Chain A
Amino acid sequence: MSRSPEEIKKHVRVYVNVFVALMGLTVITVAISYLHLSVVPAVILALIVATIKGSLVASYFMHLINEKKMIFATLILTGIFFAALMSLPLIFHIDKFY
């Protein structure tokens, strides 16, 4: 894991690029909201932008892009249970509680 100073400098350039991208995406997501789209496309667009931003933070700032497989295994497991949790509204929907 010991990285040379040159490597770190390369990393720093990446961080700055990611930062610029995040700022740009923030502007985009706010701009979209001013279009006052109807709910479904608005939700889809907002979530797409947020997911891109989130993955940028996770991949580069949190170094997930070159992380060990033990971490990935944990996160995949968490992802599955997260999906189970997010299925709650679906359960209500299928049962026609609304």
Chain B
Amino acid sequence: MAHVAVTHDVHEAIHHTEELSFWRKYVFSLDHKVIGLQYLITSLVFLFFGFTLMMLMRWQLAYPGQPIPIIGKWLGEMNAPGGIMLPEFYNQLGAMHGTIMVFLGVVPLAVGAFGNYIVPLQIGAPDMAFPKLNMASYWTYLVGGITMLSSFFMPGGAANSGWTSYAPLSVVATTGQTVWLIAMVFLITSSLLGSVNFIVTIVQLRTKGMTFMRMPFFVWAQLVTSFLLLLAFPPLEAAAVMQLMDRLAGTSFFMPSGLVVAGQILDVSGGGSPLLWQHLFWFLAHPEVYVLILPAMGIIAEILANNTRKPLWGYKSLVYAAVFLGFMSFIVWAHHMFLTGMGTVISAFFQTTTMIISIPSVIILTAFFISLWGASIRINTQMLFALSFLPMFGIGGLTGLPLGLAPTDIHLHDTYYVIGHFHYVVAPGTIFALFAGVYHWYPKVTGRKMSETLGKIHFWGSLVCMNGIFMPMFIQGLAGVSRRLYDGGQQYAHAQGVLQWNEFMSIAAWLLALFQLPFIINFFLSLKTGKKVESDNPWEATTLEWATPTPPPHGNFARPVEVYRGPYEYSVPNHPTDFTPQHVPDPVKA
């Protein structure tokens, strides 16, 4: 009986198109593609805003104590009297840069935008499993984001205790921290709604023939990511609630007894543990690292297979590695805390798990490299970004190893080395992958290709500038320069030998901003002038998103799709074309 009903369901899914008003179609849309684009635009705006904060900080680091030209006088007397940035404001910028980039920029872009748009298409589903929940997820994210930004207008400014909001500093901080916590509750709720939706969609709405091992690697990456978001975020939500209680109700979850602030013993009941916050924070924030990187790897896998014109090497090991990576990411969190007085037993345990978790990352990267072997590579903008992702992420990953081992971490902890390490993972790593994704899927969304010339300017400029910013950080970090210094290390004798890099890095950062202009121009100009695509499958790809009309209508597929093979059947011998899409049946054998 169930079977009859199922086929009925599928058929109904196809033959329904209804006319909607402007508001229902573009603003309060239930269509996963529109919601994905809403996520895309919003998170790109946040990404550029977060970058702007950093460019201000880079001025202070390069020319400490000098007034910021032009923009300086708009920052307000409270923040930058006479255009000279105050230390308090520098701290706000630092905390908000991290928060915005991670929670409002990269994750919503990787999961909310790309996941939302691509996953249902790649598994042959008409939409997400819960379209209303999907819409709610976006709007909760937007409210959280606006709340987060509004904290700049609080008395005392935005949150200024770092993106990690370590207690007890954050508990005694200004009102901006309360707003930060409330905004985080919204963002956590949003990602919770999103992750439930993704898992149900992937498990339940795969089309006929789309078994788990035929899913594109991108879908696997999103599935693992969703589990991380689902299970790692709630402990931070609990911690945020406890910190709110500490700040608003005067409790002492994170406040030790006898804490002295500004010469006074704080009037709190005490008995709390600042380390508890760190544990709960990193219980989320380490899996969060893989939330940042897994979708990026997924995008890279799609683009590599498509442009090498051969199957992805070791698809199964990639899948198992991603699942294992996700699993292990839950038991490595305390490697962020070697300097908290951790004993040898616990530190040995977390060093071991940290070394173990590097294995699946290496497997994934190796499989990507081997995929290039012997391929006749098609070079276009997205492939350039994908190719540079490999060494960039490689640098980011390998420089992480010394941080995962307590003896070296004791020296490197909280220096610019750490900043360099994780920015290599996230900036020329994840963000390059996300750029690659924009170039790759743009023709599916708009029916036009982006300009290759502008794309290549964007790529080469970004590649050079990214390395110009982050490579010197390793040098400064190894010299022992702390990451949180407002003057970039001027007061410290040990930093004198590496100070000259500050100006270099800052100029690279501003140039990087300049090289984003071709991308922005390309993004909007190509809507009108981009080269029109001749078919629904301009890159001659194999996965299902290219089997839809361009752009895909509400409900996605023109007729029911069935899947006959794995995701990356390129250059199959004796096949007329060098790609065999998943939905094309084998020629009937006589």
Asked whether any CB of chain B lies closer than 8 Å to the CB of A40, the reply is no
Segment with Cβ contacts to B, from A3-11, A24-32, A58-66, A87-95:
A87-95
Which residues in A have their C-beta under 8 angstroms from that of B275?
A: 92, 97
Given A77-B227, A77-B231, A81-B231: A91 and B334 interface contact (C-beta under 8 Å): yes
Question: B279 contacts A88, CB within 8 Å?
Answer: yes
With A70-B203, A94-B346 already in contact, the answer to whether A85 and B227 are too (CB < 8 A) is: no
Q: How far is the CA of A70 from the CA of B223 in the complex (A)?
A: 14
State whether the Cβ of A35 lies closer than 8 Å to any Cβ in chain B.
Answer: no
A36 at the interface (CB under 8 A from B): no
Contacts of A94 in B (CB 8 A): 343, 345-346
B273-287 CB mask vs A (1 if < 8 Å, else 0) is 101100110010000
Bound CA–CA A83/B227 (angstroms):
16
A70 vs B203: C-alpha distance when bound (angstroms): 9
Q: Which B315-332 residues sit within 8 Å CB-CB of chain A?
A: 330-331
As a 0/1 sequence over residues 341 to 380 of chain B, the CB contacts with chain A under 8 angstroms (1 = contact) are: 1110110000000000000000000000000000000000
What residues of A have a CB within 8 angstroms of the CB of B273 in the complex?
92
Q: How near does chain B come to A82, taking the closest CB pair, in angstroms?
A: 9
A31 to chain B, nearest CB (A): 31
Bound-state CA distance A77–B341 (Å) is 31
Residues 204 to 260 of chain B near chain A (Cβ within 8 Å) = 227, 231-232, 235
With a cutoff of 8 Å between Cβ atoms, the chain A residues found around residue B331 in the complex are 84
Which residue in A77, A84, A95 is a CB contact (below 8 Å) of B342? A95
Q: From B337, which residue of chain A is reached at the shortest CB distance? A: A91
> CB of A55 within 8 A of chain B?
no
A30 to chain B, nearest CB (A): 28
Binding site for A on B (CB under 8 A): 1, 203, 227, 231-232, 235, 273, 275-276, 279-280, 283, 330-331, 334, 341-343, 345-346
Collect the chain B residues with CB atoms within 8 Å of residue A2's CB: 1
Q: How far is the CB of A17 from chain B (nearest CB, A)?
A: 31
* Besides A92-B275, A95-B343, 11 other A-B contacts (C-beta < 8 A): A81-B232, A84-B283, A85-B235, A88-B276, A88-B280, A91-B279, A91-B334, A91-B346, A92-B273, A94-B343, A97-B341
B1 — which chain A residues lie within 8 A by C-beta?
2
A72–chain B nearest beta-carbon distance, Å: 14
> What secondary structure prevails in chain A residues at the interface with B?
helix
- Nearest Cβ on chain B to A61's Cβ, whole angstroms: 22
Contact A95–B235 (Cβ < 8 Å) = no
Specify the chain A residue showing the minimal Cβ separation from B331: A84
Residue numbers in B under 8 Å from A13 (CB-CB): none
In the assembled complex, the CB of A86 is this many whole angstroms from the nearest CB of chain B, namely 11
Residues of B within 8 A of A80 (CB): 330
Q: Kindly state whether residue A78 has any CB partner on chain B within 8 Å.
A: yes
Min CB distance, B532 to chain A, in Å? Answer: 44
Q: Which of A78, A81, A95 contacts B345 (CB 8 A)?
A: A95
Task: Kindly list chain A residues whose C-beta atoms are within 8 Å of the C-beta of B280.
Answer: 88
Greatest chain B CB density within 10 A among A80, A81, A88, A95 is at A81
Closest Cβ of chain B to A81, distance in Å, is 5
Top 3 closest A-B pairs, CB basis?
A95-B343, A81-B330, A81-B231
Bound state CA distance, A31 and B334, in angstroms? 41
A72 to B342, CA, bound (A): 35
Question: Do A95 and B346 touch across chains, with their CB atoms under 8 A apart?
Answer: yes
With A70-B203, A84-B330 as contacts: A78 and B346 at CB distance below 8 Å: no
Q: Which residues of B contact A91 (CB under 8 A)?
A: 279, 334, 346
How far apart are the CA atoms of A92 and B342 in the complex, in Å?
9
CB-CB under 8 A from B342, the residues of chain A are 95
Q: B559 CB to closest chain A CB, in angstroms?
A: 29
Give bound CA distance, A85 to B280, whole Å: 8
**Complex-state Cα separation, A80 to B327, whole angstroms:** 10
Question: Within 8 Å CB of A77, what residues of B?
Answer: 227, 231
Interface residue ranges of A12-57 to B (CB < 8 Å): none
Most A-side CB within 10 Å, residue of B273, B283, B346: B346
Selected A-B contacts with CB under 8 Å, 27 pairs: A70-B203, A77-B227, A77-B231, A78-B231, A80-B330, A81-B231, A84-B283, A84-B330, A84-B331, A85-B235, A85-B283, A88-B276, A88-B279, A88-B280, A91-B279, A91-B334, A91-B346, A92-B273, A94-B343, A94-B345, A94-B346, A95-B341, A95-B342, A95-B346, A96-B343, A97-B275, A97-B341
Q: How far is the CA of A63 from the CA of B276 in the complex (A)?
A: 36
Given the complex of chains A and B, what is the CA–CA distance between A78 and B227 in angstroms? 10
Q: Which residues of B contact A96 (CB under 8 A)?
A: 343
Least CB distance from B374 to A in Å reads 38
Chain B residues near A85 (CB, 8 Å)?
235, 283
